Structure 1
């Protein structure tokens, strides 16, 4: 007698290929996690920088700012580490340089506003010589804005590349909030607030302004 294949046997055979399968849902293209995963490092860090700018970055600068004239006096009298311990900001580790937030005013003695690395050289003590450089950008050197923020910690980021993109995004935001008149600015009075990094006592001060007024 020939074997009879029952309907139950047919059903069992049909289900065998599915025994090791796992149903996986397609990702929601509109979900926040999916959008974030598809963004470039530059885009993600730009979004993060914009999120923290008004709520955390500018309040930190305002909290720690001292007059630039006071900074200069203390630096000359007590040295870099003393003024750093009193007013400075830096990532954990004594090998990292000090960053300072300052306010000040002065007179422009030299200006280069045509370059993509636009700068103003400012005399703050009326001796006719430049005491600091205001980096107007859009190309801004350094990572002072990032490194002056005590809540920004390297280990919270994927790697050094992503961390560098954040520094660039913060510099770009600082630049986007600045404006200055057209024409020759030499001899014009300026007031400013911002941050800079100082590795050695005698180094030139190149400040990233977060506020700027040209009178």
Structure 2
């Protein structure tokens, strides 16, 4: 009898513990986690869309230096103008990016790979550095994000959110900048652009356009 009574007590205790634990568990619908944790899920697309036209484009237009002038001043060393025109992705280190503008003739359109490019013959420049405009659908680097003064790595929770900002910028570029051009007929035409590039190659400039128009 004593053993049976002890078994009943143990079973009752387990049942009570189960009920208590179950009572503490709340099922949360996906996307509503912030209601419980207080931590809102970061939405990079909304974040970028909210600042693109009102803050990003005006700042990039203001910072943009004429590319022929930039190349003349650099005299073959693209990193030499970091203090005058550049911005590093993480304060005083990381990727060095510049904002430039100019116009030129499209001599080739290459869409064999997903990271497509257009070759630009820049007006006012006859030097050896090759100049390309990115046309997606995959965009390399993060020069646009890194060129914006009000976007700082330390303001984001983690590196994943930081990367999502750059991806969302590229989504806008692909849809609203490059996507508005007829890439099938653009070869041979003159284009005007504002864009950003990272100085990671001494003999090549790969520009992500934020403004692009056929002249």
In 1, Cα distance between equivalents of 2:168 and 2:138: 11
In 1, Cα distance between equivalents of 2:73 and 2:198: 16
Secondary structure of the corresponding residue to residue 90 of structure 1: strand
Structure 1 unpaired stretches of 5+:
1-25
Question: Which one has the largest radius of gyration?
Answer: 1
In 2, Cα distance between equivalents of 1:59 and 1:90: 20
In 2, Cα distance between equivalents of 1:109 and 1:128: 16
In 1, Cα distance between equivalents of 2:191 and 2:213: 6
The 5-angstrom pairing of residues 43-58 of structure 1 reads: 44-58=43-57
8 Å contact kept, 1:109–1:129 = no
Q: Which residue of 2 aligns with 1:59?
A: 58
Kindly provide the CA deviation profile for residues 50-102 of structure 1, in whole angstroms up to 9, marking residues without a partner as x: 1111121111101110111011001107x444422111122344332321111
8 Å contact kept, 2:132–2:206 = yes
In 1, Cα distance between equivalents of 2:93 and 2:203: 17
In 2, Cα distance between equivalents of 1:97 and 1:30: 34
In 2, Cα distance between equivalents of 1:182 and 1:88: 30
Q: Which residue of 1 aligns with 2:160?
A: 161
8 Å contact kept, 1:135–1:209 = yes
Q: Which residue of 1 aligns with 2:86?
A: 88
TM-score normalised by the chain length of structure 1: 0.74
In 2, Cα distance between equivalents of 1:142 and 1:197: 7
Q: Which residue of 1 aligns with 2:198?
A: 197
How far the C-alpha of 1:112 sits from its partner, in A, is: 1.8
8 Å contact kept, 2:68–2:125 = no
TM-score normalised by the chain length of structure 2: 0.74
CA-atom RMSD in angstroms: 3.4
In 2, Cα distance between equivalents of 1:129 and 1:177: 31
Identify if the C-alpha distance between structure 1 residues 187 and 30 changes in structure 2 by more than 3 Å, giving closer, same or farther: closer
Kindly provide the CA deviation profile for residues 15-63 of structure 1, in whole angstroms up to 9, marking residues without a partner as x: xxxxxxxxxxx99x999x54x9675x5xx01110111111211111011
Identify if the C-alpha distance between structure 1 residues 198 and 182 changes in structure 2 by more than 3 Å, giving closer, same or farther: closer
Quick check: which one's strand share is greater?
A: 2
Structure 2 unpaired stretches of 5+:
1-26
| Residue correspondences, number | 189
Identify if the C-alpha distance between structure 1 residues 204 and 152 changes in structure 2 by more than 3 Å, giving closer, same or farther: same
In 1, Cα distance between equivalents of 2:204 and 2:92: 21
Identify if the C-alpha distance between structure 1 residues 182 and 163 changes in structure 2 by more than 3 Å, giving closer, same or farther: closer
